[in-house]
Amino acid sequence: MTKKTGGWAESIKTVVYAGLIAIGVRTVAFEPFNIPSGSMIPTLLVGDYLFVSKYAYGYSRHSMPFSPALFDGRLFGSLPARGDVAVFKYPRDNSTDYIKRIIGLPGDRIQMRGGRLFLNGQEVPRESLGLYTVEGDGQPMRRYRETLPGSTTPGPVRHEILEATDDGPYDNTPEFVVPPNHVFAMGDNRDNSLDSREMNAVGFVPVENLVGRAEFLFFSKDNSSAWWAVWDWPFSIRWNRLFTAVK
């Protein structure tokens, strides 16, 4: 005769096991993020949802939910490649998630002059792609294709940026020298991004604060319909962005 099992105890165990599996996947493999601001336009749009690979740069305490202070540094750590789009914890509070493009690695010299990016004394090439209008804004901006020199990836890294002007607050800066175990991060929407150019805010990002590398979009929705108006979703989903790689 077998004993019948079930009831609340089994249900609780199932929920606990499912939660542990989810936490494990979120910690060591992939974690979903959504984009709430326009600092990475045109690469990432407000309403994009993407997966970040947690293993790309190794693991730190920030790889785990709530960033428990279990250890310092990184396990199986590696530096990002120049040009990676990465999620990191804001250095001022170690809790807020930021997503930016990695522009400088340890030892690099970074400077903005008249809206142009200089890396290790060399001007980074940019090619005009015409005008770009941000959703819901209506104000056209200038779009460029910028070409970063490669680091750990073969060849140059090409990506798009926006500039409202070449004479904004962060378009002329002193030269920044990236210290050891830090990186320099910037938004692709250059005049609408709080990033490493502001030393009193983001500044240099400790490698330990890296959460992971943005890999691909799995969902994207504009703000033309309310989140609860499910019947309007087919008209507000950006179908052409679904399951596209982040570059």
CA distance 229 to 223: 11
**Residue 191 token pair:** 């005049």
Q: Pick the catalytic residue: 54, 60, 89, 100?
A: 100
Is residue 124 a contact partner of residue 116, using CB atoms and an 8 Å limit? yes
Whether omega before 65 lies within 30 degrees of 0, making that bond cis, reads no
**Residue 190 token pair:** 């250059």
Collect all residues with Cβ–Cβ distance below 8 Å to 228 and sequence separation of at least 6: none
| Dihedral over alpha carbons 193, 199, 205, 206 (to 10 degrees) | -170
Active site residue 39: yes
Active site residue 13: no
Q: Which sequence positions are flagged as catalytic?
A: 39, 100
